[in-house]
Structure 1
Amino acid sequence: MLPERKKKLFFKGRKRPFVPFHYRFKPVALRKVLPNTITLLALCMGLTAIPFGVDKAWKHAVSSVLIAGVLDGLDGPVARFLKCSSDFGAELDSLADFINFGAAPALLCYFFVLHEWGRFGWAICLFFAMCSGLRLARFNTQRLSGGGRPLPSYFSVGVPVTVGSLLAVTPIIYSFTFKQKSVIFQALCLVITGIFMASRFPTFVTKGIRIIPRYSGIIVLSSVVVLIFGWVMPWETLLVLSLLYVGSWPLSWRAAQRYTSLKPHREGKSFYD
């Protein structure tokens, strides 16, 4: 900062150009704000699930997590469609994912039934949250390093956190249909899901799957049937989808081993090293 006398001498005989207020800030296109807005809405829905869990409004709590998952699946495609992907959006999305699908489901499971085990139940919830953080940290490092993937894009390294949150709240969804609660079932879901999230176990993801044209009609018809059942019987449909996803793990393991044996990595390393 210049002294007041030097400021007067410096600006003596000069006129400052007048800059209108709306030109003092660089304008940002609306399309660049839309993906981050969707991410923030997903973050709001994930946080909203926590007070619902405190009030024991379990259907509203689980629905908030599911809506956050839907919004999380939209922000990336919207950003790529509008050609406005950025590192800021990627970091914001990762932070929102940890809160929506790591912290919020762990708290819901503790409020639901794991509080009966006291500190041990809370430790299980912390384990799940830490595994989700490790999964997201590994995903970010792979994105920043830009290293090549040893497997096709329809494989994921470990269970994604969005699917992991659904598996974590599966006992809560189970109680909606069968009116039963089980502390052991809830604890096993959190522990097993956390291990598979933090591991390098290959799992299928739908975004990288390419549909053969002759099977496109069957895929579209099956999707419509799933949507209809999801509208009529949402909780039962989610339970079936969760079981089908867990049942696909042996198939994904076998498919990954077959792919690595037919087409090994260029560096000579296995996918599981």
Structure 2
Amino acid sequence: MKVDHERPRRLKRVIPIRVLIPNAITIAALCAGLTSVRLAIAGDYERAILAIVVAGVLDGIDGRVARLLKGASRFGAELDSLSDVTAFGVAPALVIYLWTLEHLPGVGWIVALAHAVCCALRLARFNANLDVTDQPHKKYGFLTGIPAPVGAGLTLSPMFLYYWLEPTRFTQYSEVGTAATAIVVGTVAFLMVSNLPTYSWKSVRIRPEYRIMALVGVALFAGALLSAPYMTLSLISVIYAATIPMAIVSYRKVRRQAAGTATPDSAAETGTAAAAAPPPSPDVP
């Protein structure tokens, strides 16, 4: 009698569409960053800037969409970091190099490399600390260093300023401007890998009575970005740069307040424990 040993059927693993949507947005941000490089090679720098701005918008919503759809995953987190390295590390470095840093022989390419490398190091540090609970800056609602999308915007800020002032006949970008751009790019690269505390958007809380005013501000910002993009991006870059020293002062203030609050509690707990402890034995010196 022949016995037919049927192999058990393997259950096919099905991935819900809600998991794919955030990853698709991340891929779109990656494609926008790569497109900016192609546009810069073709000499279309304004559209190259626009492509990186689009990548920044997509990067800002993919995580929120993932949490909204409950589609967050470790794969999505790793994919997001790879997309950020390309869109906010490699792409801005190449765009700013082709735009002006190539006129600084040797030094310009090193500065561009510094931006891309520091962006990759920042994201690697972020991934390494995903499961670390003891993060002093994160504990008090701050970030460590400036985020990669913000770093890309600050690196491209000389281009924002140039295209904003171009209608006023400021069309000659001199060697001084190229050197100043190199200083800006190098400083931004340092800020991305630094241990300086910076503000986090996640810690921003809006009171209910200010909700309407916040929506009006968002509408005005969107209108300004569409009607005068380079002026708006230039002002945002300046305002964010001004918040960095403010964040350092705020972080120190929060730490002092936390230390002052923790000290009396610790002393009280120590006193209570000592009172509750039994008296020492006569045999103990």
Q: 1:84 aligns to what?
A: 71
- The farther-off stretch of 176-185 and 41-50 is 176-185
Q: Is the 8 A contact 2:119 2:148 kept in 1?
A: yes
Do structure 1's residue 197 and structure 2's residue 195 form an aligned pair?
A: no
Provide the C-alpha distance between the structure 2 equivalents of 1:192 and 1:150, rounded to a whole number of angstroms. 21
CA offset at residue 265 of structure 1? 11
Q: 2:37 aligns to what?
A: 50
Provide the C-alpha distance between the structure 2 equivalents of 1:149 and 1:59, rounded to a whole number of angstroms. 40
TM-superposition CA deviations, 1:40-71 (whole Å, max 9, x none): 11111111111100011011101111111111
1:226 to 221, 226, 232: 221
CA offset at residue 152 of structure 1? 4.9
Do the aligned partners of residues 30 and 183 (structure 1) sit closer, same or farther apart at CA in structure 2, a change above 3 Å counting? same
Provide the C-alpha distance between the structure 2 equivalents of 1:216 and 1:255, rounded to a whole number of angstroms. 24
CA offset at residue 90 of structure 1? 0.5
TM-superposition CA deviations, 1:182-211 (whole Å, max 9, x none): 212211111111111110111112232111
2:15 to 28, 31, 34: 28
Provide the C-alpha distance between the structure 2 equivalents of 1:266 and 1:44, rounded to a whole number of angstroms. 49
Q: Which amino acid aligns with 1:218?
A: M
1:167 to 129, 137, 154: 154
Q: TM-score, normalised by structure 2?
A: 0.82
Q: Which amino acid aligns with 1:43?
A: L
Do the aligned partners of residues 265 and 39 (structure 1) sit closer, same or farther apart at CA in structure 2, a change above 3 Å counting? farther
1:131 to 104, 118, 121: 118
Q: Which amino acid aligns with 1:132?
A: C
Percentage identity across paired residues of the two chains: 31
Q: 1:6 aligns to what?
A: none
- Please give the residue correspondences for 1:1-273 in structure 2 after superposition, counting only pairs within 5 Å: 13-14=3-4, 16=6, 25-152=12-139, 154-179=141-166, 180=171, 181=173, 182-264=177-259
Q: Is the 8 A contact 2:145 2:191 kept in 1?
A: yes
TM-superposition CA deviations, 1:141-197 (whole Å, max 9, x none): 111334344455642110101000001111112221223432122111111111111
CA offset at residue 132 of structure 1? 0.9
Structure 1 segments unaligned to the other structure (5+ residues): 1-11, 269-273
What SS does the corresponding residue of 2:143 show, helix, strand or coil? strand
CA offset at residue 216 of structure 1? 2.9
TM-superposition CA deviations, 1:107-140 (whole Å, max 9, x none): 1111000001121110001111111112111111
- The farther-off stretch of 233-242 and 180-189 is 180-189
Do the aligned partners of residues 261 and 43 (structure 1) sit closer, same or farther apart at CA in structure 2, a change above 3 Å counting? same
Q: How many residues align?
A: 254
Q: 2:279 aligns to what?
A: none
Aligned Cα root-mean-square deviation (Å)? 2.3
Provide the C-alpha distance between the structure 1 equivalents of 2:145 and 2:117, rounded to a whole number of angstroms. 14
CA offset at residue 15 of structure 1? 5.6
Provide the C-alpha distance between the structure 1 equivalents of 2:69 and 2:244, rounded to a whole number of angstroms. 34
Q: Which amino acid aligns with 1:164?
A: G
Q: Is the 8 A contact 1:230 1:238 kept in 2?
A: yes
- The farther-off stretch of 204-213 and 26-35 is 204-213
Q: TM-score, normalised by structure 1?
A: 0.86
Q: 1:7 aligns to what?
A: none
What SS does the corresponding residue of 1:156 show, helix, strand or coil? strand
Provide the C-alpha distance between the structure 2 equivalents of 1:176 and 1:152, rounded to a whole number of angstroms. 40
Q: Which amino acid aligns with 1:155?
A: F
Do the aligned partners of residues 150 and 46 (structure 1) sit closer, same or farther apart at CA in structure 2, a change above 3 Å counting? closer
Q: Which amino acid aligns with 2:253?
A: R
CA offset at residue 75 of structure 1? 1.0
- The farther-off stretch of 222-231 and 59-68 is 222-231
